[in-house]
Amino acid sequence: MPENLPGAVSPADITTTRAWSALLARPTPPSLRRLFDADAERAERFTFTAADLRVDCSKTHLDDGTLGALLDVARTAGVEQRRDAMFAGERINVTEDRPVLHVALRAPIGTSIAVDGRDVVPDVHGVLDRMAAFADRVRDATFGGARITDVVNIGIGGSDLGPAMATQALAAFAHPRIRSHFVSNVDGADIHRTLSGLDPATTLFVVASKTFTTIETITNATTARGWLVDALGVDAVADHFVAVSTNAEEVAAFGIDTDAMFGFWDWVGGRYSVGSAIGLTLMIAIGPDRFRELLVGMRAVDEHFLGAPLESNVPVLMGMLGVWYADVHGHDTKAVLPYAQELARFPAYLQQLDMESNGKSVRLDGGPVGTSTGPIVWGEPGTNGQHAFYQLLHQGTRIVPVDFIGVARPNHPHQHHHDLLMANLFAQAEALAFGRENPDEPYRHFDGDRPSTMVLLEQLTPSTLGQLIALYEHVVFVQGAVWGINSFDQWGVELGKELAGRIVPELTGSGDEPGDPARPGRHDGSTDALIAWYRERR
């Protein structure tokens, strides 16, 4: 790796190092059954804490030797140096020449993080204060003479998934009058269904887009604006639209006053932005104090990631376990199974966080990665998943490492339901790990020996949700550092966007003129035929 890369101390390719060879040379681990039989203290020894999170890694195949080998890999890859470079505001996102400072969003007043010589912590708190004043107004005051009952967040990707996931997760803390809606898809069905239940006079739109050029968001926002103006006239836009963006020019060009804009910075990646102004809809729902608790929770895990020794550093341990299962064992998917209905969108949120970050095949120095990178992340809440895909988890030919997430005390009064839920959670991890012999009826035989990690929370609160988010952000970070990739760009989404932009006029034009983009023969035979099929029917 060239020396001028910020935070770079690792060699070009981790798979060429002695630490990697030592990891590969480790003997095949004993079964989980044998690991537990050999060590009465195993559960205790491999259960760790990060802030209030309890993380039981004992039902993975970790032992002291493998743990040591994995941590050698982490050290060789320079995980700690890259972490420190991120927290120090170095420009570790080299392809976009930016720092990566979502951790600054939760830095308390009094700390200082400099970008180009400027301390950004006061800026962060300045925006938080403006957001808080606005959120309080929406919650308590009237807008154009009416109280807001519905807030519609229009955004996509990181400008949707984080706030949508968190707003659902924290529904128990939401203002009783305010309903939150999230419109993301360019499919008109999304905005159509959302608007059809709403009263323009009591609806607030939050247009959330880092760039303010994303076609889905601008299309949905334009439709929403037309709906509002038809009902209340153009003057109502000022009371019913706010923007969250880094791009004041585009916000103004869209027709939202920049006084009604909440800013953030290019050093906040979209999928890392829920703690920024992108969380405005969430803040309106749960209130500024609760939103600050979310940030405090995130910060607690940031401090753990920064300060805990690698041997008990939970993001490092979970990240390295993921590297081991993916690259040494060849398990290329990972299931995230929250036993909390409120975390139903957490797997979808993690898909973007992990797969957009680490779905890369080129290293920071431009060379090819020597092993597989980010896993395919998927999941559904328990117990629903049990009645859908757990058959494959228990008896399929593929091994799928699982992250279970569970909560001790629910945010609802139905204790019996919760006892059943938790019994299922613990039973599933036990069944995966230890299986059941049945030589007479092979179809009833469970091999077991299927690894899982159990993440437990006392209660799902803004603070513990913040901890969970920061935990996974740092797991993704650790893995990206080991693979030597840039986890903070997303060039892979560009080609499809560009081609879609070319195809739009081909669907709608007449195709009669020689220069008309709708004339056939511009693509491969298949794409031309698809376009022709659609043109005949639209």
Would you tell me which residues interact with ligand F6P (CB under 6 A)? 156-159, 209-211, 214, 217, 270-271, 356, 490, 493
Q: How far is the CB of 262 from ligand F6P (least distance, A)?
A: 13
Q: CB nearer to ligand F6P: give 159 or 281.
A: 159
* Known active-site residue 497: yes
Q: How far is the CB of 352 from ligand F6P (least distance, A)?
A: 7
How far, in whole angstroms, is CA 336 from its chain's centroid?
12
Q: CB nearer to ligand F6P: give 218 or 294.
A: 218
User: Of 412, 414, 417, 497, which is the active-site residue?
Assistant: 497
Q: CB nearer to ligand F6P: give 357 or 464.
A: 357
Q: CB nearer to ligand F6P: give 413 or 496.
A: 496
* Known active-site residue 387: yes
User: Of 80, 356, 380, 506, which is the active-site residue?
Assistant: 356
Q: CB nearer to ligand F6P: give 10 or 153.
A: 153
- Going 348 to 99 to 76 to 55, the CA torsion angle's sign is negative
Q: How far is the CB of 19 from ligand F6P (least distance, A)?
A: 32
Q: CB nearer to ligand F6P: give 216 or 506.
A: 216
Structure tokens at 132: 């808080």
| Other CB atoms within 10 Å distance of the CB of residue 363 | 20
* Known active-site residue 304: no
Q: How far is the CB of 481 from ligand F6P (least distance, A)?
A: 20
For Cα atoms 69, 73, 78, give the angle at the middle one, nearest 5 degrees. Answer: 145
Helix axes 121-140, 288-307, angle to 10 degrees: 150
Quote the strand ranges of 271-359, DSSP E.
Answer: 333-338
Q: How far is the CB of 196 from ligand F6P (least distance, A)?
A: 24
DSSP 32-93: HHHHHHH-TTHHHHTEEEETTEEEE-TTSS--HHHHHHHHHHHHHTTHHHHHHHHHTT---B
User: Of 387, 412, 414, 417, which is the active-site residue?
Assistant: 387
| Other CB atoms within 10 Å distance of the CB of residue 67 | 19
Question: Which residues, other chains included, contact 187 with Cβ-Cβ below 8 Å and sequence gap of 6+?
Answer: none
Q: How far is the CB of 270 from ligand F6P (least distance, A)?
A: 3
Q: How far is the CB of 218 from ligand F6P (least distance, A)?
A: 9
DSSP 205-235: EEEE-SSS--HHHHHHHHHHHHHHHHHH-GG
Structure tokens at 505: 């006029």
| Buried b or exposed e, range 476-505, using 16+ CB within 10 angstroms | bbbbbbbbbbbbbbbeeeeeeeeeeeebee
Q: CB nearer to ligand F6P: give 209 or 452.
A: 209
Q: How far is the CB of 273 from ligand F6P (least distance, A)?
A: 7
Long-range own/partner contacts, residues 15-18 (CB < 8 A, 24 or more apart): 15/370, 15/371, 16/370, 17/73, 17/76, 18/76
Residue 398: exposed, middle, or buried by beta-carbon count in 10 A (0-12, 13-18, 19+)? exposed
Q: CB nearer to ligand F6P: give 275 or 381.
A: 275
Residues identified as active-site? 356, 387, 497
